[in-house]
Amino acid sequence: MTTPASTAMLQNLLEDHGLRATQPRLRLLEFFALTRGHFTPEEISEQLREQGQPISIATLYQNLKTFSDRGLVKEMIGHGGEVRYDTNLDPHSHLVCLNCGQLTDIHLDLQELHPPSQASGWLITQARVDLQGLCPGCQKRN
């Protein structure tokens, strides 16, 4: 649970992104502040329910879209095509297990890729590189 000071910080963060500080948004933002990872909406809903802070599924989906649009979380497509929300907003890449779908953050120097922006006329605004393989757990099981 958050303290009054941390609740005020979460409220300010929402307001800085042009959002009203509703209870569902505060609960969701608190979840993201306390939990690192890559979560499906269903996983978020289940964890909030287990914490005694449920949010209706429609409200959850609406706020996840809003948070993604405003840059509070990153929406990504995980293994198998499911939508996941990444709480790590720093530039990073992922290791993706092709067997179990585990996602692990890694940091790569993407500047070495030398995107062909000048030659093609493209303005590169972001880069995403995911490396796929088998996680240590799946390697042991195979």
Say if residues 11 and 25 touch (Cβ distance below 8 Å).
no
- In the numeric block, the tokens 């879209």 are attached to 65
* Exposure string over 98-110, b if 16+ CB within 10 A, otherwise e: eeeebbeeeeeeb
42 is in an annotated binding site: no
Residue 96: partners with Cβ closer than 8 Å, 6 or more residues away: 78, 79, 102, 103, 130, 131, 132, 133
Q: Is 30 annotated as a binding residue?
A: no
Q: Are 55 and 24 in contact (CB under 8 A)?
A: yes
Q: Which residues are annotated as a binding site?
A: 97, 100, 112, 135, 138
Q: Which residues are annotated as a binding site for Zn(2+)?
A: 97, 100, 135, 138
Q: Which residues are annotated as a binding site for Fe cation?
A: 112
